């Protein structure tokens, strides 16, 4: 394992301990509302701070982009952190949330992990070295088309005025595929695509910390990641499509005019 990824794993496990301790005492949580239907807890903040502090012990000059703390520092190495992806699930006691950490070097994704502390599942990837789940190599699926695929997505719950148009496209994709899931954690959904549990994923209205780690996981498991028009820079477009080339082709054919 790359030394920087190894440090990230240690940081994620520290955050996972904080998250699980908070999960056991959810009734005592104090919620803050960041925006419409968008909440944060002290656990989110504590987990992010713990990740940053752990990484800084080894790399004090590196920069960070965190969901809760924003951008700090300036360096050719930048860590992108979502300390608790799936906060609403966490708050409600739905057992589906994770830690997501990715490392950019000169703007290019180099290392990534998604850690599910409930299931002790650690998804990791390094550029050019493949993707792993708990140390074992994983590969995405290679369906010939959308029929019989199981896809994942999310709905625009923060701006529901856009839902009618989104729903029209969803209905077309649902009709063309085997089934569609909506789980509430983009990072875990992308990790599941990398592991072959889902055949594809798409979402609009995402932030870099939602998908940075998942993007590298999918790419290193043999998949492709694009925006809704099939272009190659989803991290900065606020929208993402992930899966095998043929799944991407099928999804983009429905999403490109959305």
Q: Angle CA(193)–CA(96)–CA(43) in degrees, nearest 5?
A: 125
Question: Can you give the pTM of this predicted structure?
Answer: 0.94
Residue 103 tokens, joined: 């490392």
Neighbours of 130 (CB within 10 A): 16
Q: What is the pLDDT of residue 35?
A: 58
Instruction: List, by residue range, all CATH 3.40.190.80 domains of the chain.
Output: 150-255
Instruction: Mention every residue, 6+ apart, whose C-beta is less than 8 A from residue 100.
Output: 81, 82, 85, 113, 114, 115, 187, 209, 210, 212, 213, 214
Instruction: List, by residue range, all CATH 3.30.540.10 domains of the chain.
Output: 3-137
Region 150-255: CATH code: 3.40.190.80
Q: What is the pLDDT of residue 166?
A: 87
3-state helix, strand, coil in the chain (%, to 5): 40, 30, 35
Q: What is the pLDDT of residue 159?
A: 72
Give the span between the Cα atoms of 121 and 147, in whole angstroms.
29
What DSSP designation does 43 have?
H
Give the span between the Cα atoms of 201 and 186, in whole angstroms.
9
pLDDT in tens, 192-236: 999 999 999 999 989 999 999 999 999 999 999 999 999 988 888
Q: What is the pLDDT of residue 235?
A: 83
Instruction: Mention every residue, 6+ apart, whose C-beta is less than 8 A from residue 90.
Output: 19, 22, 23, 26, 41, 43, 84, 97
CATH topology of domain 3-137: Fructose-1,6-Bisphosphatase; Chain A, domain 1 (3.30.540)
Give pLDDT tens digits along the chain (258 positions): 899 999 999 999 999 999 999 999 887 777 776 655 556 888 999 999 999 999 999 999 999 999 888 899 899 999 999 999 999 999 999 999 999 999 999 999 999 999 999 999 999 999 999 999 999 999 999 999 999 999 999 987 777 777 888 899 999 999 999 999 999 999 999 999 999 999 999 999 899 999 999 999 999 999 999 999 999 888 888 999 999 999 999 999 999 988
Q: Which of 75, 93, 115, 67 lies closest to 213, judged by CA?
A: 115
Q: What is the pLDDT of residue 27?
A: 79
Neighbours of 203 (CB within 10 A): 24
Residue position matching structure tokens 């875990």: 188
């Amino acid at each position: 394992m790359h030394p920087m990824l190894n440090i990230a794993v240690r940081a994620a496990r520290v955050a996972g301990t904080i998250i699980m301790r908070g999960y056991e005492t959810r009734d005592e949580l104090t919620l803050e509302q960041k925006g419409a239907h968008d909440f944060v807890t002290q656990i989110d903040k504590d987990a992010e701070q713990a990740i940053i502090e752990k990484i800084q012990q080894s790399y004090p000059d590196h920069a960070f982009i965190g969901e809760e703390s924003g951008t700090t520092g300036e360096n050719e190495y930048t860590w992108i952190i979502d300390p608790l992806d799936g906060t609403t699930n966490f708050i409600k006691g739905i057992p589906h949330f994770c830690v997501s950490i990715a490392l950019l070097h000169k703007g290019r994704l180099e290392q990534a992990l998604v850690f599910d502390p409930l299931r002790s599942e650690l998804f990791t990837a390094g550029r050019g070295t493949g993707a792993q789940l708990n140390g074992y190599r994983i590969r995405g699926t290679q369906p010939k088309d959308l029929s019989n695929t199981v896809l994942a997505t999310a709905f625009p719950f923060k701006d529901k005025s856009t839902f009618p148009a989104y729903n029209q496209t969803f209905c077309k994709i649902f009709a063309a595929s085997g089934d569609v899931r909506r789980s509430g954690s983009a990072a875990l959904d992308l990790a599941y695509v990398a592991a072959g549990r889902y055949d594809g994923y798409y979402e609009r209205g995402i932030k870099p910390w939602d998908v940075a780690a998942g993007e590298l996981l999918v790419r290193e498991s043999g998949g492709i990641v694009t925006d809704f028009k099939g272009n190659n820079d989803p991290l900065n477009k606020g929208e993402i499509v992930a899966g095998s080339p043929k799944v991407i082709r099928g999804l983009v054919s429905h999403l490109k005019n959305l």
